Structures are given as C-alpha cells and as structure tokens.
Amino acid sequence: MNVTYFIIVNVSVLTVLCVYVSGGGWTWFEAQTECRKRNQTLTFNKDGPTSYFWTGFYKRRSSWINILDIEINDNIFSMREMSKVEKEMFVMGLLQKGTFGQITQRKTERKRARFSYSFRGETICRDAFLTIFDLSNKVLSNIIAHMNKNGVTQRVHGNKDRKPAHALKFIEIENAVKFIRNYADEFGIPQPAAPSGSDGIPPIYLPASDTKRAIHNKYYESCAECNIRPLKISSFEDAWLKCVPHIRISSPRDDVCQKCERLRKEIADARTEEEKLKTVKDFEEHIKAAKRERLHYRKCIQDAINEIGNWQDGQLKQVHYTFDFAQHFQLPHHARQMGPTYFLQLRRVQCFGVRIDSTSMQLNFLIDEDQTIGKDGSLTSGPNAVISMLDHVLSEYGFGENACSLHADNCSGQNKNQFVLAYLCWRVLLGFHDTITLMMQIPGHTRCLVDSGFAHIRKLYRRSDVDSFNQLLDVVQKSSTSNTAIPYRKNETVPATWEWRDWKMFLSRHFKPLKGIRKYHHFKFTNQDPGFVFVKESADSVETKIPILKCPITNMQERPSIITPPGLSKERQAYLFQNVRPYVRPMNQDELCPRPTEE
C-alpha cells in the first residue's frame, strides 16, 4: 500500500509523529530507508510509524520538501512568545494570503473560503501547519470560521461585556459589608487614629480569638434566617478586604488599650439602658481624648518638618524628639533558630531609640548586658539610664535650638517621673533651652514614629544570623536609611560613647517631686518662670503652674557623678560559657560567651 508520511514533533511530549496521508507516496520500506539515511529509527503503532527524534521531512505525491529541525523549533517558540491576540492575527494573515477558490465552478461566490497552508513560502499540510504554528485543531477551525463570517478582525469572546448568570448583585455585597460593620460595632475596639501610610480611616480591632471563617459562618447562618443569598467564603473575604479594610482581627503584636477593653466589656455586660448609655458616653469621651492627643502629636511633627525645611539661619523653635525603649534583642540569633535556645537565657542587648522628627533620623542606643548601670543587664530603663542617653542626644545631636518638644511613652517609672521633669527644668535653668515641652499620649494609644524604626530593625533581625554585638550593629545600620546605631562601646579598647551618670542623686538635691504626676500628660518649662512646671491633663485643657525647685543651683558647672558599669557576675559568665556558647559560631564564641574570669 502506498502511503505518505509527514514526520513532525509533538513538542508537549517530545516525540516525533509520522502522520498518515492518503494518496501515493512512500511505502513503509521507503520511509524506513529514508530514516536510516538520516540516522533515525522508526517504530510502528496503531497510528503509524513513530520516530523519537527530530526528522522534519514531508512528502506528498511526487515531490518532498526538507524542513530543518531548528526552523520548526524556532517558529514554535516564537509563536509562544506572542499574546493570544497577536498569535491569532498572525495566523489570520497567513491564511488570508493562502485563500483560494472563492468562486465555485458555477460562478457563484463560495460561502466558505478555502485556504492553503504554507511555511516560509512552501506548501504544507494542515497537520504540519498546526504543529509548526503551535495551534490545536479546534482553535484553527474557530479562526477559519471567524474569518468566513467576519473577515480578518480580532476575535472577541462571546461573553465579553456580558454579566454572568451567577454574578453577585450589589445588594448581596452590601449585605455582607453591613454584617461586617455591625459585627465590628458590637465586638470591635476602635482606635483613635490610623497608622502612618493608611487611608486615614482609624482601624477597628476584632478579638484575636475570631477568624474570618468563623465570622463567615455566623454571616451564613444569618443569611439563612433572613432567606437571602450569602456570599461564599472567598467572595466574603474579598468584599471585606476591598470595602472595609480598616476592620482587622487583632494579633498578639497589636497593643490594645486597657481602658478601651474594660469599657467594651462593660457595654456588653450592661443590664439596663442607663448603664449602657453611661458606659458608651465614657467610651466615646476616652476615644475623643485619645484622638485629640494623636492630632496634637502629628501637628508637632509637621511643624518641626516645615520649620527645618524652610530654615536658613537663626534659632529653631519647633524641634521635636520622640523617645522610647524597644524590646530587647537576644544573642545569638539565627534565621533558623535551634530549638534548645528557646529554653536558655541568652545574652540580652537593650535598645533605646530617640527619633529627631525634624530630620527623620532615629538614634538607636544599644547596650550590651555587661554595659548597663546594674549588674547582669539590670537598671537599663531607670531614670539614670534614660536621662543619660537623652542628655547625650540633646548635647551632641541637637541643633542648638531655643525651644523643643518631646513625646514619650506614658510609663510612670521610666519616662514619666520626677527626675525626668527635674532634668528638663535643670536644662532651662542653665540656659540650654528657653522652652521645653514634654508630652505623653494616653496609655494604650501611644503608637509613634519611633516604633516604625524599631519595626524595621526587628524585620531584618528576624531573617539574619547574629552571633556578636558588632553584627547586631550592622543589622541596625542596614535596617533603614533613617536608623543609626549608637553602641555604648564596640569593644574594650574603645572609650564609651556616652557616660552613665547618677542623675537621681544629683537632681534630688535641687528639685522636689510633683504630686499627682500620673494624671498629667503635658509638662512645659520656660526661662520666664524658672523652677516652675506648667502642667495640663490634655492638649486643650487649662495650664496649672506648680513649683518644683527645692533650692537654688549655685554651681552651674556641676554635673552628676559617673557610674561605671559593673559588668557580668561570675554566675552569669559561667552560665553563658556553659549553656549558650555551644550555639554560637566558633569565630564569635570568645566575644559573646568568653571564658569566666578568675577574679
């Protein structure tokens, strides 16, 4: 039997097929002989001869054409680089070029045009055309049908601009959004202001015990009771994300105001309308007060930025600082932390941040465990430590400004105490500043820009391997362009960057404590009223003038005595050497966990 074989490659399975073509040509013996010349191997199955190598030849009737393997390969991948529209328009152009037989033998116009298939000017069969131009038989048939009906134009899907039968209706999405909002009103905790970089809508935090799937189940049950069509879980989450992104589920990292939480529970547990109305009123007043403080904080920062941006010469009067402590860092730390280290007391490094908001620069003071005022890393967050580092910033990194303002965390034993107030009053008395204002936001609503600097450090720290104090310094420096690391001492041969001083003893001789300090959030000191502090409970309340100077300062050059860090105890040194040292890289073991001293 005479047959014709077109040998092509099925690229998806990397095989070469010999396609049967009716009408004279090669016999099986001739095809086998031709493949032997090309160093090919033919096998036979129910579909005809099969070669597992590229051959690329075609024979029809009395003539045959060689098609190089590389030409087929290049053309297939060139077609795959095109978009769907580009590919279809390109194929239409080839077919339009090979159109023939528009007029029948009866001299009438043919309804369906005929096409010849070619590749680089040579006629080929339909099967070869499908393979070389990376088409399926169905796609080619659809393209031909489209050309017969519409000519060479872009194909448009029949469902384009047509609404699907199962599409969601506006009322259904609106019902889902209403449910989420009502659920947040009942169980959520609203915040006074949105974080930096958001759309300005204050977030509402849902309890951490909730999940979106659990809330969707409640929504599904409510829809069943109301006999309305509910959204599936994916559409429900999509509507939540796009319509009410400010409603979030709390995570362990989200700070929740204690008073907000207490008032929310009182509202839920109220038995009478009078109790509920009273609690709701207290809750609203608390939220409004927190919002006022937040707006005042933002105004201070914006005024400082505007002043430094337009500054040419003269004294600055609106410089703003923000300071706070970060969570301590533990060494060694690895991106793939070893399990046993979670049960050890690793070496701790404290971090105190002071952000100069006028220039968006954050100074991060890093204190190793053997560099603190107390033994074994203690007394790091006390008044002596806070004032020593704050004094270093104002003296070394200040602008020599006449007036400045500071924002701090509302922590009574750390930042909000008689010694910090006495230190600021002392600076005004000695003429370092004409006016200093210390402000603190309402507890539980104290998020500030210094926290964003800490977040950048923590983000890089989590995915870094840190086996020494100097490596931690590099992490802080690389975390953000606005972050600067200030170590107490890089090593024993380098002098300390700043000195610890006994400010408590020094200031207690000249200043007396302020009674009722916990209820105040604003403190102002001026050279027009030396020795006095002007206090306010909120940003818009009335000032009260209170004296805190106990006796005059006669020696303007006197400074507190220097405190030398006591270092690590023998017990702590032995613990680090025996328990922590095995988990430190060998090259850093002597630096982080040295052998205990004999003294």
Of the pLDDT bands very low, low, confident and very high (cuts 50, 70, 90), residue 353 is very high
Q: Among 54-63, 87-96, 260-269, whose mean pLDDT is lowest? A: 54-63
Closest CA to 334 of 463, 180, 499, 484: 463
Task: Supply 137's token pair.
Answer: 């038989």
pLDDT of residue 564: 92
Per-residue pLDDT, 48: 40
Q: Are residues 479 and 368 in the same domain?
A: yes
pLDDT score at 263: 81
Block residue for tokens 């702590």 = 572
- Cα distances from 21 to residues 95, 116, 141, in angstroms, run 21, 16, 20
Q: Taking the CB of residue 12, how many other CB atoms lie within 10 A of it?
A: 7
Q: Please tell me the predicted confidence (pLDDT) of residue 528.
A: 93
120 and 175 inside one domain: no
Helix (H, G, I), strand (E, B) or coil at 437: strand
* pLDDT at residue 556, as a whole number: 87
- pLDDT recorded at residue 38: 54
Higher pLDDT, 195 or 535: 535
Average pLDDT score over the chain:
80
% of the chain at pLDDT higher than 90:
33
Q: pLDDT of 368-377, one tens digit each? A: 999 999 988 8
Of 25 and 255, which is predicted with more confidence?
255
Nearest alpha-carbon partner for 24 in 5, 9, 46: 5
Query: How many folded domains does the chain comprise?
Result: 3
Contact residues for 574 (Cβ-Cβ < 8 A; gap 6+): 596
CA distance linking residue 384 with residue 374, whole number of Å: 11
Q: What is the pLDDT of residue 256?
A: 61
Q: Is residue 91 located within the same domain as residue 183?
A: no
Q: Classify strands 435-440 and 403-408 as parallel, antiparallel or unpaired.
A: parallel
Handedness of CA 583, 459, 455, 483 (dihedral sign): positive
| Confidence grade of residue 209 (pLDDT, cut at 50, 70, 90) | confident
Query: Looking at per-residue confidence, does 56 or 145 come out higher?
Result: 145
Q: Report if residue 285 sits inside a domain.
A: no
What is the pLDDT, as a whole number, of residue 540?
86
Write down the pLDDT at residue 23. 37
Render pLDDT for 389-410 as a digit per residue (tens, 0 to 9).
999 999 999 988 999 999 988 7
Q: What is the pLDDT of residues 96-123, one digit of tens each?
A: 776 665 666 666 766 666 778 888 777 7
* pLDDT tens-digit series, residues 295-343: 888 899 999 999 988 887 778 889 999 999 988 898 998 888 776 777 7
Range of lowest pLDDT (109-118, 128-137, 244-253): 109-118
Looking at residue 2, its pLDDT comes to 39
- Evaluate if residue 7 carries a pLDDT over 90: no
**Do 304 and 202 reside in the same domain of the chain?**
no
Last residue of a domain, one of 118, 150, 182: 150
Written as one letter, the residue type at 167 is A
Listed residues 224, 254, 284: the one ending a domain? 254
pLDDT confidence tier of residue 465, bands split at 50, 70 and 90: very high
Q: Are residues 105 and 184 in the same domain?
A: no
Specify the pLDDT at position 102: 63
Vertex 217: Cα angle to 212 and 223 (nearest 5)? 120
CA distance 199 to 437: 30
Question: Is the pLDDT reported for residue 429 higher than 80?
Answer: yes
Element (H, E) at 113: none
Percent of the chain topping pLDDT 70: 80
- Kindly state whether residue 28 falls inside one of the protein's structural domains: yes
pLDDT at 436: 95
pLDDT confidence band for 568 (50 / 70 / 90)? very high
**Residue 141 and residue 179 in one domain:** no
Residue 190 covered by a domain: yes
Specify whether 235 is located in the same domain as 314. Answer: no
Residues 6+ apart with CB under 8 A from 537: 519, 520, 521, 522
Q: What is the pLDDT of residue 116?
A: 80
Q: Which residue has the higher pLDDT, 42 or 190?
A: 190
What would the mean pLDDT of 77-93 be, rounded to a whole number?
Answer: 89
- Where does the pLDDT of residue 413 fall: very low under 50, low under 70, confident under 90, or very high at 90 and above? low
Residue 275 within any structural domain of the chain: no
Q: Name the β-bridge partners of 60.
A: 63
Mark whether 356 and 459 lie in a shared domain. Answer: yes
Confidence check: pLDDT of 25 > 50: no
Q: Which of 232-236, 251-255, 473-477, 569-573 has the lowest mean pLDDT?
A: 251-255
Asked whether residue 54 falls in the same domain as residue 26, the answer is yes
List, for residues 532-556, the tens digit of each pLDDT value.
Answer: 999 998 888 899 999 999 988 888 8
Q: Which residue has the higher pLDDT, 310 or 367?
A: 367
Q: 280 in a domain, yes or no? A: no
- Where residue 492 falls among pLDDT bands split at 50, 70, 90? confident
> How far, in Å, CA of 8 to CA of 134, rounded?
12
State residue 339's pLDDT score: 63
Interstrand relation of 247-249 and 204-206 (parallel, antiparallel or unpaired):
parallel
d(CA 344, CA 201): 43
Mean pLDDT for the stretch of residues 198-209: 72
pLDDT of residue 4 exceeding 60: no
**106 is a domain residue:** yes
- Cβ neighbors of 521 (< 8 A, separation 6 or more) are 293, 410, 439, 440, 441, 442, 536, 537, 538, 539
The residues that bridge with 119 in the sheet, in sequence order, are 122
Q: What confidence category does residue 384 fall into, taking pLDDT thresholds of 50, 70 and 90?
A: very high
Is residue 571 very low, low, confident or very high in pLDDT (cuts 50, 70, 90)?
very high
Confidence category of residue 168, pLDDT binned at 50, 70, 90:
confident
Specify whether 408 is located in the same domain as 516: yes
pLDDT class of 126 with cuts at 50, 70, 90: confident
Q: Would residue 77 count as lying in a domain?
A: yes
> Buried b vs exposed e over 239-265: b needs ≥16 C-beta within 10 Å?
bbeeebebbbbbeeeeeebebbeebbe
- Using CA atoms, how far apart are residues 551 and 456, in angstroms rounded to an integer? 45
Residue 350 lies in a domain: yes
Does 330 lie in the same domain as 301?
yes
Residue range 210-233, pLDDT digits in tens:
889 999 998 988 888 888 889 999
Cβ atoms of 48 and 20 closer than 8 Å = yes
Which two tokens mark 386? 């806070």
Reduced to 3 states (helix: H, G, I; strand: E, B; else coil), residue 18 is strand
Q: What pLDDT, on the 0 to 100 scale, is given for residue 111? A: 64
For residue 557, give the nearest of 430, 418, 390 by alpha carbon.
430
Q: Examine the fold and report which residue of 100, 115, 150 is the final residue of a domain before the chain moves on.
A: 150
Q: Are residues 374 and 456 in the same domain?
A: yes
Structural domain including 17 reads: 4-150
